[in-house]
Amino acid sequence: MRILFLGDVVGRSGRDAVAAQLPELRRRLAVDLAVVNGENMAHGVGMMPDMVDGLYKAGADVVTSGNHVWDRKEVIPYMEGEPRLLRPINYPPGTPGRGLAEVVLDDGRRAVVVNAMARLFMDPLDDPFATVRRALKRYPLGGAADAVLIDFHGEASAEKMAFGHFFDGEVSVVVGTHTHVPTADVTVLPKGTAYQTDSGMCGDYDSIIGMAKDEPMHRFVRKMSGGRLEPAAGPATVCGLFVETDDRTGLALRAEPVRVGGRLSQTLPACVI
């Protein structure tokens, strides 16, 4: 299975870039499953239903989120009726929405996507290690699931690395989100799980993690707010991870970074068609 994951979409610049690039990436890389983290689409914080629909129209099969998932209240009733839009699975029981999605491909193969959130320097949610392991008991890799991808949304690289190694050999992909900066550690772990500490954002990198530079700099220098944070509006780089898995085992055969457009150095996996 060929899987494409795109990191946090930030503001209009990120939305426009994904809408422009995702259809061609799906075609060029013969993608079977496309997952996009959309939690920063609405002016840098949260998501609106029409924006989520825009990702589906562009070719996303599942949309994940993170700590900003509730920043736009309009998304809550939408999420209740939309099984392809995920919030972190380790929110307490009774929280709206769901943290796991099943996707059945046209050829009958089954993919499972899980959204989880780390706890170090983040909200004190339920244990993501135990919560995800319990959820995946129903979806053994190579059995009920032909591929399993986990979007692990977190701040600390050590916690993300621990999570990747904890699930090595049990899932196809563990990819980090939240810090908005693509890491250079794309790899296949020893037991066969593709891993990247952070996929990076889909946004304008002439910015401070997607926001126009003046206000964040003011806050760091003066230690006080000078106004609202505004998303940077320049050309966005679409950042993500491409993984090809073995249909027999569900484990990763290769993992490569994706960076298209904008300011960052460009890289694409070798074309498969």
Closest CA to 45 of 13, 68, 64: 68
In this structure, are residues 42 and 72 in contact, taking their beta carbons and an 8 Å threshold?
Answer: yes
Tell me the backbone φ, ψ of residue 233, rounded to 5 degrees: -115, 10
Q: What letter does residue 165 receive in the DSSP assignment?
A: H
- Active site amino acids: 68
Q: How far is CA 102 from the centre of its chain?
A: 16
Calculate helix-pair angle for 157-166, 128-136, nearest 10 degrees.
30
Phi, psi of 16 (to 5 degrees): -65, -40
Total number of residues shown for the chain: 273
Contact criterion met (CB below 8 Å) for 21 and 243: no
Tokens of 120: 């170090």
- Write down the H helix ranges in 10-69: 11-28, 49-58
Distance of CA 147 to the CA centre of its chain: 16
CA-based Rg of the chain, rounded to a whole angstrom?
Answer: 17
Helix, strand, coil percent values for the chain (each to nearest 5): 25, 25, 50
Nearby residues of 173 by Cβ (< 8 Å), 6 or more positions away: 3, 5, 147, 148, 149, 150, 193, 194, 195, 241, 243, 252, 255
